[in-house]
Amino acid sequence: MFTTLDRLFLASYFRSYLIVLTSLLSLYVVIDLFTNIDSFGRAGGGVRGVAEHVLTYYGYQVSLIFDRLAEAITLLAAMFAVSWMQRNNELLPQLSAGIPTRRVVRPVLLGAAATLSLGTLNQELVIPRIAGKLALPKDDPDGAKAQTLTGAYDPATGVHVEGLAGFPNQRRVVLFFATFPDAPPAGMFHLTADEAFYRPPDGTEYSGGWELRQKPDAAGKLWQPPEKLPPYLKLIRDGRYFLYTKDMDYEVVTRGATWFLYASTPKLRELLARPDPRRQAKVAVLFHMRLTRPLVGAVLVLLGLGVILRNPNRHVFISAGLCLVFAATFYLLVLGCKYLGDNNLVAAPLAAWLPVLLFGPVTLVQFDAVHT
């Protein structure tokens, strides 16, 4: 049964959550803005253009900042809500009436569970959709500057591509190199294009792949392709080809070494199934940490509340300080285990589950010690 007091405590938690969320996000944005103000100035466009760029840039970055701070925000909100209840002596009348402490703070636990889920939803639904915007530098709001390419491999066709430079605003690659696998009817061969434009799927014939454009050499001749081309490479006319790809768009070709941090969990699982040893350990650790993230958040919140509620006679600020010390220790353990997993010093599942295995029993004992 959800009582009037439960609704009041739940509203108090959400109010604390909004205050902490706004404060931390604003602090992060202000510090980052003043640290990189010169980079924003180099984008040009005058005062109005710079202001619009700053608003757009941080409008996307807020999602990434929230992803990093989601669990900490929930912990602080729960800590402030319970501490405020103690400070205003709102716990004592209920405890005197025989209501257990854990029953009193149940609305806070429900609110914490709801806000912890926001981090997962943001991670799975929002960040993968705006990954391209998150990767844009501060001094290039329109994506007009050249990007360094890392190359890519399309598992569906077996084609490996590289390039000299890419321009995001046009989805254009300069000096595009494609290596085709040794397979009938064409066999293995290399194709070089002066320019390549990625055309997203739109239902037309030449979409869902790369339009390759070649220029004649010094003698005025064009590269002559094999008599039989692979089924996924089509000759449009002399010097023009279209390469159909399934999993190799412009973002794939230009993404950096840490692009998988923005991928969804199903995408990480798909990457682990591929025979590609590059960054496999880091992808595996991240995948398992995604699975344990709800448990890590729950352990963090319960541990903090257990520290605060175990001794109601302790000063509020001392309890809050101890709560932050335990939380910092827990976060350091999580980062340390991630480092061990990324460097193949421990198995990826163990690196993700070890913080829960070590702090989980401690948290249960701490929270069970909360008495009426």
Question: One digit per residue, pLDDT tens: the chain, 372 residues?
Answer: 678 888 888 898 999 999 999 999 999 999 988 888 887 777 666 778 778 888 888 889 999 999 989 998 999 898 888 887 777 777 777 767 777 777 778 888 899 999 999 999 999 999 988 887 787 777 766 667 777 777 777 877 888 888 888 888 788 888 888 888 876 666 677 888 889 999 988 888 888 889 999 888 777 777 777 778 888 888 888 888 899 888 788 877 777 666 778 888 998 888 787 665 556 788 889 999 999 999 999 998 888 888 777 766 667 667 777 777 878 888 899 999 999 998 889 999 999 999 999 888 888 887 777 765
Q: Could you give the 3-state DSSP secondary structure of residue 317? A: helix
Task: Read off the pLDDT of residues 209-250 as tens digits, 9 standing for 90 and up.
Answer: 899 998 887 777 777 777 788 888 888 888 888 998 887 888
What residues have CB less than 8 Å from 221, skipping those under 6 apart? none
**Calpha distance 125→127 (Å, rounded):** 6
**Calpha distance 189→331 (Å, rounded):** 51
- pLDDT in the model for residue 112: 93
Tokens of 279: 């960054």
- pLDDT in the model for residue 115: 94
- pLDDT in the model for residue 138: 76
**Calpha distance 145→41 (Å, rounded):** 15
Domain boundaries, the chain: 4-135+278-368, 152-255
CB 108 within 8 A of CB 82: yes
**Calpha distance 253→247 (Å, rounded):** 10
0.95 surpassed by pTM? no
Beta bridge pairs of residue 153 = 160
Beta bridge pairs of residue 160 = 153, 179
CB 204 within 8 A of CB 220: no
- pLDDT in the model for residue 303: 85
- pLDDT in the model for residue 277: 53
What residues have CB less than 8 Å from 337, skipping those under 6 apart? 346, 350, 351, 352, 354, 355
**Calpha distance 309→77 (Å, rounded):** 15
Beta bridge pairs of residue 233 = 243
- pLDDT in the model for residue 216: 83
- pLDDT in the model for residue 43: 64
